[in-house]
Structure 1
């Protein structure tokens, strides 16, 4: 009798464990499906972008977002304001690299194929940096107007959160878009310090850091926000004019930095055009290949040095 009772209890316990295991697996699978659906909605906002363009390479994009380089690329793309996902940018960059590889190999010599591919990767990242810097410059030019709107709103008795939402509605892109993100984060419960800190991280500049620091300190201490913003508006206007003058005076130096590597690449085409097959013979030996690599390195060093020497931080 005792043995029969023990077998019954053991069988019942085993069956209960199996039922609980199946229920747990079902709950886990349902949770993962819900999480994937939520991530899908937040990441893509459906299958269509904000501008109405249908997303491409969604599976690749999902895998890239799961990696650390993919997340860094996503943040960089967000700072540029481009309506491109990490997966789309990766495919476009890979296509450009392959095309430049084939063009360099066919037009010059087989040795220049990998070099042209590396130049394609460098050009893609330079394009992102250029777009990001252009967006930052546009945002900096809007900062005086932003500070003026916030000062007027706070002087009228509105809270800083409400003033930020008002500025997001009145200002054009990129300031309007970035402030809309801050307003959305504040509505979801994010603190003022964290929301403004993320804004300064997306579009790093001294002017924005000063504005963010002023808003954070005034929000914490409850100080005179209006007077601080009024003074900051005048300072930002002066810095805006100073930056415009410096950029105008250094425009020739900037063009020179880009002309140096272009002249080097043009010399290669000229050599190959004057005497067909000259680059094949030149890169056919290790000495010639080493000379070509050293020349490209020197052109890159010259480009970086000219850019660094002409950079003036205001």
Structure 2
């Protein structure tokens, strides 16, 4: 007992308490700073940063894969549209008479066009017979009236209608862009254009609306527009709508870009027309000179010119000269026709 009391003297107790306090404080400090001292915190931070980078890389890879998939889908669709366009161009060279009449905006039937051709042939033949009394001249004018005048009129009406379509198409696309930005669906925007636009846009978009009512999808209905209006601008519109319907994306942005392209093409066409106007004026003057000379000589010296109408050799000269004139006019027209 005396030994235990001597062992638990105040000095020993103080030392023991000091040691316990030291170990306690040391344990607390070790528990607080052990992660930093052992590098576990840095390791965890590195693991988190690696995980974040991996997730970011995975997301980037996924987005790139989705972009590549969508880009490939768009490229496949463009290739398909290009193949269709080539077929349409090949088919456009052999358009039927009914298709040409429809593109000209006429309500004629094939029978009505034939009747119109016969009437033109009879009228010009009667004029030629009355003016010259020559059978060759009469037959030549009948040929021109039966095969030339009706087809020239049909081609001119078709060209004018296509030009009017190209002039109004950017405005129609702008209406669709504003409607889609305002939250309207594409079908309602097309109906607005069909109701408010000018001809021939009004008629063509009304046909799209009518095709929708028959159960055809809007993209398929618009895809038929280039067959009725064989121009690149109509094909652009069909391609944009078809790609958007299959691949998604912002339709208003795509159509806005299309409207900008259409207006730039229109401005470029105007510049080309202005630059080629001098050549067209020269061709018109050169082509009209023979007719002006014939008219002047007929007034100044009728007996000199009547030999061309009364003599068989003169008739042959008139026919040959007319053919040469037509050949020259055709060549000049091809020389001043610019495509872009």
Query: TM above 0.5, one fold?
Result: yes
Comparing 242-251 with 230-239, which one deviates more in the overlay?
Answer: 242-251
What CA distance in whole angstroms lies between the structure 2 residues aligned with 1:198 and 1:105?
48
- The alpha-carbon distance between structure 1 residues 257 and 130, as it changes in their structure 2 partners (threshold 3 A), is farther
State the alpha-carbon separation in 1 of the partners of residues 163 and 279 from structure 2: 19
The 1-side partners of 2:264 and 2:252 are apart by 19
The farther-off stretch of 259-268 and 186-195 is: 259-268
Task: State yes or no: 1:113 paired with 2:142.
Answer: no
The 8 Å contact of residues 261 and 303 in structure 1, kept in 2 or not, is answered as: yes
Q: Which residue of structure 1 lines up, in the alignment, with residue 96 of structure 2?
A: 72
Find the counterpart in structure 2 of residue 61 from structure 1: none
The reply to whether residue 308 of structure 1 matches residue 334 of structure 2 is yes
**Residue deviations 1:9-40 (CA, integer Å, cap 9, x gap):** xxxxxxxxxxxxxxxxxxxxxxxxxxxxxxxx
Aligned equivalent of 1:25: none
Determine the C-alpha separation between the residues in 2 that align with 1:267 and 1:116.
20
C-alpha spacing 1:117/1:253, structure 2 compared with 1 (3 Å):
farther
Aligned equivalents of 2:112, 2:271: Cα separation in 1: 38
Alignment of 1:200-219 (within 5 A): 200-219=226-245
Bigger Cα Rg: 2
CA–CA distance in structure 1, aligned partners of residues 194 and 205 of structure 2? 5
Structure 1 position 263, deviation (Å)? 4.4
2:115 equivalent in structure 1: 91
Give the secondary-structure state (helix, strand or coil) at the position aligned to 1:250. helix
CA distance in 1, matches of 2:137, 2:180: 60
Which residue in the other structure is 2:191 paired with? 165
Return the TM-score normalized by structure 1. 0.68
Kindly indicate whether the alpha-carbon contact (under 8 Å) linking 2:125 and 2:139 is maintained by their aligned counterparts in 1.
yes
Cα distance, 1:281–1:173 mapped onto 2, change above 3 Å: closer
Output the CA distance in 1 between the equivalents of 2:252 and 2:168: 18
Q: 1:308: how far off?
A: 1.0
CA distance in 2, matches of 1:310, 1:270: 29
The aligned residue for residue 27 of structure 1 is: none
Task: Name the residue aligned to 2:204.
Answer: 178
**Alignment root-mean-square deviation, CA:** 2.6
Structure 2 residue aligned with 1:103: 127
For 1:146, which of 161, 169, 172 is the aligned residue? 172
Higher helix share: 2
Measured in 1, the distance between the counterparts of 2:142 and 2:224 equals 34
Q: Find the counterpart in structure 1 of residue 27 from structure 2.
A: none
Question: Alpha-carbon deviation of 1:105?
Answer: 2.7
TM-score, structure 2 normalization: 0.63
Shift of 1:125: 0.9
Q: How many residues align?
A: 241
Alignment partners' CA distance in 1, 2:318 and 2:106: 36
